[in-house]
Structure formats: structure tokens, C-alpha cells
Structure 1
Amino acid sequence: MATVDSTHKLGNPVYPVMFAIGVCHLFNDSLQAVIPAMFPVLAKEIGLTFTQLGLISFVLNIVASLLQPVVGFISDKKPMPYALPIGMTSSFIGMLGLAFAPEYWIILVSVIFLGFGSAVFHPEGSRVSYMAAGSKRGLSQSIYQVGGNSGQALAPLISAFILVPFGQRGAALFLVVAAVGIFILSKISAWYKKQLEEEKLSKTKKVLLSSLPSLTKKQVVIALTLLMVIIFARSFYVTNMTNFYIFHLMENYGFTIQKGQLFIFIFLALGAVGTFFGGPMADRMGRKNVILLSVAVPIPLSLILPYVPIWVVVILLTLIGFFIMLSFSVTVVYAQELVPSKIGTMAGLTVGLAFGMGAIGAVVIGILMDHLGVYTTMIIVSVLPIIGLVALALPKDRKIALQG
């Protein structure tokens, strides 16, 4: 098998666009992060049950998860450059409603707008990341996804330093974030449109060079199913840590909301770091190897997490956060290479499934905590990463530079 110049085949990376779409992903997901950040405040001030809090997360994530593959499928057939600022405008409306909602049902309507904005942003943002990647597909997807995970990591800080002091109205500060995002995405959309016009004029279409061997349709379906199971286990576990682990810290370690949120921030911040390193590592050592590393390392750590003293909790949160998110961008690229003709659909399916599993997980965990208690629920959730070992059955890939 001859070595080929992947840079020549794939083109040069467009770094300004890669970083700009990553920053907008940070903006988008920081808006989403306001929702779980409000949970301790809503539970304390309004007296919402864990089940009601879970339903808020369910509405947000189920809208995003159901619509993302639809948006991706439509844009695969007819790209929509200006869908990006339109999606961020929907998030702006949702945040406006969330900040000033006087009743529970208005909060639910507001998160529908936020969910729709996220559903539009993610597959189209991933497409822009791919178009700008050139020969650095893993790096580009990591920059894009680390932007989103960094936005999610801000949730505990948003809660501790904005929502606890200022209450629900503090969410209005994020209208500025949404407005800046609309402006930047308008510029990115202009570049996106220009790229499409150049492809049309040259009558060529960029083809995704896959790192996977030739697979039958049945093998592709099986591989995608395994990938979905891995995403299920990861998303369910991360949802627990993001939305509900704070209550474990408050109940079993006597933490205040602010102190507990700082521990959640450690988990999410290291998750963002893991997301960044996952893509470049996959470019060097293969997608499957990174996915296996990501699912195997957290298993023993998560199993002992509910039982350890607080000083060990810090160490475990750091390691679990880093490794469990190492495969976040890699699973997206792996799915795209399984079905290289459906870039947007695969991005929407994988990231959308992550939202969907998070939605279901939030409701299930909320119900478990209401009926079984916080501590018992943490023990049950600690076994979830074991499911990820189905990654052993994924088809083995190879570095793109060896394709020929």
C-alpha cells in the first residue's frame, strides 16, 4: 500500500474559520449550559422536584437530538449557509424567555427555542469544521468540539458566580453572548456560501477520504450501532455528572452550591481538554484505539467514585473527565468515515444522539433520585461506563496518510 500525500488530496486547513466556528460552538453550548446551571437555584428557590428538573433537561435535549439528524440530512442534499445565524437567533429568543419566565411552562417553551437553535447549529457547524479542515480533520473536529465542551464546562461557574448571586434574571447576561455569536456566524456563513459557489464553478465536490477499510452495508450498520451504544453510555454518565452530581456533593460531603459547582467544573474542564487531544491523537494512532482508551480507563475510576473521600474525588473527577471525553470528536469523525457521503447526517446523528441520551438520562436519573435517593442513584450510574466496552468490536481503522 503506497503512502500518499493527504495534504494534497484534502487541501490546506483554513485556520481562521476552524477557530471561529470553535468559538461559536463555545457560545452555543454556554447558552445551553445555563439550563443545568440553574438547577440548584430552581430547586432551592422554586422548590422543583428532581423529576421536574429532569423534564427541563429532557425538553431541551430531545428537541436538539430529534432535529439534528433531520437538519444534517436536509443540508447534505441542499447546504444552508445562513442556517447558522438563524439557529443562534432562535437561541437568543430562548434565552430571553428563560431569563424572564414567571412560570414553569414558559421555561419549558424557552428551552424548546434553545434546543432548536442547538439542533441547527451542530450539524452545520460540524460541516463548516470539515470544509475548513483540509488535511487536519481530527484537529479541526477537536477544535470545534472543544469549543462546545468548554461552553458546557462553564455551567458550574455560571451557576456559582452569576445565577446564585443574581438569580434567574442573571441569565439575561447571556443575550450578549448570543448577539456576538449571530454576528460571527453571519461572517462564517458568507465564507461557507463562497466555498459552495467555488465548488459549483469548478464542478468538483470534496470527497471524504476514509481511514476505514471497505465495509459491506451490514458491517456499516453494525459499526454505527456499536458507536451509538458507546455514545449512549458516555452521554448518560456525563449528564448525571453535569446535572445531578452537585446534589451528591451537597448531601454526602456538606458542600455549598458554589463549592460543589467548582468540583463539577473540574470534571467538565478536563473533559474539554480531553476532547481537544482526542482528535490529534486519533490522527496519529487511529480512531478505534482512542475510542477504546476513552471507554476503558474510566471504568474502574467511576466504579469507586461514590465511595472515596473528598480529596480522592478531585483526582478521579480529573481523570474520568479527561478520558471519557477523549472520544467525543473522534466518534463524530468515525461515523462520518463510515458513511462518507452523509457528512451532515452523521454529525447530526452522533451529536444528536448524545443530546437525546442526555435527555433520557436526565429524566431517568431524576426519577431514581426522587425514589431511591441521591447516593443509591450515584452507585447505579457508576456502572454505566462498562457498556462502552462494545468498542472492542468496532472495525479497525488506519491513518489516512497510509491510504492509497
Structure 2
Amino acid sequence: MTTTTRTKTHLAVLAVLGLSHMLNDLMQSLIPAAYPILKEAYALDFVQIGMITLTFQIAGAMLQPVIGMVTDKYPAPYSPVVGMMFTLTGLLSLAFAPSYAMILVSVTLIGIGSSIFHPEATRMARYAAGGRQGLAQGIFQVGGQAGGSLGPVFAALIIVPWGQPSLAWFAVIALIAMMLLLWIGRQQRRISAEFAQMRASNSTGADAPRHAPLTIGIGLFVLTFLMFTKNAYGESFRSFYTFYLIERFDLSIPSAQMMLFIFLLAAAVGVLVGGVIGDRIGRYRIIWISVLGPLPLTLILPYADLFWTGVLTILINLIMASAFASILIYAMDLLPNRIGLIGGLFYGLNFGLGGVAAAFLGVLADSYGVEAVYQFCAFLPLAGLATWFLPRLDDGIGKTT
């Protein structure tokens, strides 16, 4: 029996990583949160709204795997600071965009900033985890989910009453994030050295297994497919939920934004709980629960009244978000020497695939009404049956068995 050496879990570093992820995703979340304002100011239709999301998400998706591959060979601990500079520029540009074309340019800059931020930040979360990978990814991702949930709150409290130029006020958040990322960059050399020492001392540790190319290919394909279906459902809320609530229940924009905040906050809880439980019962089981569990709820949602719409959306996102940490760690276990690539690929998929889904759903909403979006998306959890084909990795209960 082989003894596995584990480094300590650097909770302070993980906390700062989670906070910087929160600030990064908060600024990104201001884009869909501002959609009702932009729709009215520029007389946009739902297809154009979907194209804003597609442009933003594709910009974030294209560079992430490339940056991940580069930083796997040449670590760049301060690259997230550069990414934050792009986000800062895009946010200021969006605040004063004179046209729809300039909105697209602005969200492209913000997407590029995200693409630079995620791969290296994901690597640092992996290094700082010690033997608690689920907890580490849960903390890192709960920061992102919490930041994403705050966008609608700031939209209701600041952007709606003060208008589009108030987006520029959030530039201070980018400056704070840059300072946090500078501190994280200074910690990386020491913590990465500890991680390398742990790997060298473990003959069958977390990063030692080598898997057959077919196993890797099938695993990554299934994980990618599951990510796409989860993101497609999530985009139906991020891009169109406020319009759905306004149209069906005659809510005001601030009230609809607050309901969106509650929905997104449930995702923050879900990723953390899912990461911790995944350390105990295994990634494979968490993925099954997450992808199929919401199906009865999604089928009921389009026919629920306002109260039950709120309850169901919280439960759906809580369950659906619980698998993201497990999916990411599962992919890292398949390719243990390509942490940056996996981080870039799967966060990039979050952007790119979500953007494709948003564009399609925008066409659906314009053609058949926004309620048709949720009637269609109700069946997306059925795609979770693909989990059956996910390779079972013999890495212990804390991983995928």
C-alpha cells in the first residue's frame, strides 16, 4: 500500500483567490444585468441581446485554452493582473458606448480579460489545495458564482437609477482585484514548489496516474457535453430571466433583478457544497446527482406561479451548480500535467458554449416568446444520461469513484 503525501491547504491564498474571482465575475455579471437598460436605450431585440452574450462569451472562450497551454509550459503568475487591465478598459468603454457596435467591442475586451484571468488562477487553486481539491475548487468557484450573483443587485441599486454611465464607477473594483492578484502572484513560487515536491514524493498520488488516450478523449467529450447542457440552461436565466419575470408576472426591473440575484446566489452555495461533498462521496456520484436531479423541477417551472417560480429556480440552480467543481477536478485527473489547459478549456467552455446557447435562445425568444425558452430548456437535464459513458477513474472515493 502506497502512502500519499499531501501538502497543507493554504486557506488564506484560497480565500484571496475566491475574492479576486468574485470581483472578476462581478464585473462580468454587470453585462447581462444591464440588458434591460441597454435594450431600452438602444432599441435592441432579443437576437441582439443574445449576440452581446455570444460576443462576450466567445471572446472569453477563444483565448483561454491557448493561454492555459502556454502557462503550462511557462508559468505566468502575474498574467491575471494583465487580464484585469482588459476588464477595466472594457468596463469603462461600455459605460460610455455611443452605439451597439461599441457595446460589442466593450464586451469583447471584458471577455478577453476573463480569458487571461482564469487559467493561471485555476492553477493556483490547484496548488494551494493540498489534499482537499474539492474544497479548494469550491472556494475558488463560489467566489465566481457569488460575484456573478451580485451583478443584478448592483443593477437594481445603481445602474437602473443612475443609468449606463454608472458602470464606470465599478472601475475601482478592477483596481482592488489587481492589488489582490499581485499578492497572489508573489505567493505562487513558494506554493508551486510545495506542490511539485508533493508530486515527486507520491508514486500513485493525485497527479500520478496516466490514462489511455481513448479514456481521456471519451472523458473530456462527455464532460464537455455535460458542461454545454448545464451552461445552456444557465444562460436562459442569465440572459432572459428578468425579461421572463417582467413579461409573465409584470414585475418591475429592480424586482426582477433581485430575483435573478437570488437565483445566482444559489449557484454560489451549490458549487461550494458540491465541492465539499465530492471530496467525501466522489466526483462521479456528484455529477450524476447534479445533471439529472433538476429534471422534475425544470419540467414544472414553466407552469408555476411567481412564488413557486422563485422556489424552483433556487432549487434548480443549487443542484445544477453542485457538479462544476467535480467536473473540473475530473478533467484535471484525466490530464494531471495540463492544469492551465484544463482551467482554460473548461472556463472557456463556460463562456463559449454559453454564448452559443444564448444566441440560439435569443432567436427562440423572438420567434415564439420568452416563455418558450423555459419550455424548451426544461428538457435539457435529460442530457445528463451521458454521464453513463464517463470513464470511471480508479483514484479513490475522494476523486471519481
The TM tier, using the shorter chain, reads over 0.9
Instruction: Name 2:396's counterpart in structure 1.
Output: 399
Query: Does structure 1 conserve the Cα–Cα contact (< 8 Å) formed by 2:282 and 2:398?
Result: no
Alignment of 1:352-363 (within 5 A): 352-363=348-359
Instruction: Name 1:70's counterpart in structure 2.
Output: 66
Query: Deviations along 1:180-223, whole A, 9 cap, x unmatched?
Result: 001110111111144457889x8986989349976421121111
Say which is worse superposed, 202-211 or 33-42, in terms of deviation: 202-211
Instruction: Name 1:156's counterpart in structure 2.
Output: 152
Q: Which amino acid aligns with 2:71?
A: S
CA distance in 1, matches of 2:258, 2:194: 47
Instruction: Name 1:132's counterpart in structure 2.
Output: 128
CA distance in 2, matches of 1:132, 1:377: 40
Please list every run of 5 or more consecutive structure 2 residues that lacks an aligned counterpart in the other structure. Answer: none
Instruction: Name 1:241's counterpart in structure 2.
Output: 237
Alignment of 1:122-201 (within 5 A): 122-195=118-191
Instruction: Name 2:312's counterpart in structure 1.
Output: 316
Tell me if 1:302 matches 2:298. Answer: yes
Could you tell me how far 1:111 is from its partner in structure 2? 1.2
CA distance in 1, matches of 2:247, 2:208: 47
Query: Does structure 1 conserve the Cα–Cα contact (< 8 Å) formed by 2:271 and 2:323?
Result: yes
2:212 paired residue among 208, 212, 216: 216
Could you tell me how far 1:108 is from its partner in structure 2? 1.2
CA distance in 1, matches of 2:398, 2:381: 32
1:195–1:13 Cα change, 3 Å: closer
CA distance in 1, matches of 2:195, 2:214: 32
Q: Which amino acid aligns with 1:319?
A: L
Query: Deviations along 1:317-363, whole A, 9 cap, x unmatched?
Result: 11101000001111111100011111111111112111111110111
Say which is worse superposed, 12-21 or 102-111, in terms of deviation: 102-111
CA distance in 2, matches of 1:275, 1:195: 24
Could you tell me how far 1:396 is from its partner in structure 2? 2.8
Query: Deviations along 1:230-284, whole A, 9 cap, x unmatched?
Result: 0000001001111101111111111111111122112111111000111111110
Please list every run of 5 or more consecutive structure 1 residues that lacks an aligned counterpart in the other structure. Answer: none
Query: Does structure 2 conserve the Cα–Cα contact (< 8 Å) formed by 1:295 and 1:388?
Result: yes
Query: Does structure 1 conserve the Cα–Cα contact (< 8 Å) formed by 2:142 and 2:272?
Result: yes
Q: TM-score, normalised by structure 1?
A: 0.93
Say which is worse superposed, 377-386 or 239-248, in terms of deviation: 377-386
1:313–1:85 Cα change, 3 Å: same
CA distance in 1, matches of 2:398, 2:78: 34
Aligned length: 398
CA distance in 2, matches of 1:197, 1:392: 38
Query: Does structure 1 conserve the Cα–Cα contact (< 8 Å) formed by 2:87 and 2:113?
Result: yes
Tell me if 1:370 matches 2:375. Answer: no
CA distance in 2, matches of 1:146, 1:194: 25
Could you tell me how far 1:110 is from its partner in structure 2? 1.2
Instruction: Name 1:59's counterpart in structure 2.
Output: 55
Alignment of 1:252-401 (within 5 A): 252-397=248-393, 398-399=395-396
Q: Which amino acid aligns with 1:378?
A: Y
Query: Does structure 2 conserve the Cα–Cα contact (< 8 Å) formed by 1:246 and 1:261?
Result: yes
Query: Deviations along 1:130-186, whole A, 9 cap, x unmatched?
Result: 111111111011100110011111122122111111111111121010000011101
Q: Secondary structure at the match of 1:154?
A: helix
Query: Does structure 2 conserve the Cα–Cα contact (< 8 Å) formed by 1:288 and 1:395?
Result: no
Could you tell me how far 1:99 is from its partner in structure 2? 1.0
CA distance in 1, matches of 2:63, 2:399: 36
CA distance in 2, matches of 1:301, 1:12: 40
1:230–1:203 Cα change, 3 Å: closer
Could you tell me how far 1:377 is from its partner in structure 2? 2.3
Could you tell me how far 1:46 is from its partner in structure 2? 2.2
CA distance in 2, matches of 1:134, 1:39: 41
Could you tell me how far 1:389 is from its partner in structure 2? 2.0
1:121 paired residue among 117, 134, 148: 117
CA distance in 2, matches of 1:402, 1:258: 42
Q: Which amino acid aligns with 2:95?
A: A
Query: Deviations along 1:289-318, whole A, 9 cap, x unmatched?
Result: 001110111111111100111121121111
Q: TM-score, normalised by structure 2?
A: 0.94
How big is the alpha-carbon RMSD for the aligned residues of Structure 1 and Structure 2?
2.2
1:105 paired residue among 81, 101, 105: 101
Query: Does structure 2 conserve the Cα–Cα contact (< 8 Å) formed by 1:210 and 1:400?
Result: no
Q: Which amino acid aligns with 2:396?
A: K
Query: Does structure 2 conserve the Cα–Cα contact (< 8 Å) formed by 1:212 and 1:395?
Result: no
Instruction: Name 1:50's counterpart in structure 2.
Output: 46
Query: Does structure 2 conserve the Cα–Cα contact (< 8 Å) formed by 1:91 and 1:114?
Result: yes
1:199–1:310 Cα change, 3 Å: closer
Query: Does structure 2 conserve the Cα–Cα contact (< 8 Å) formed by 1:284 and 1:399?
Result: no
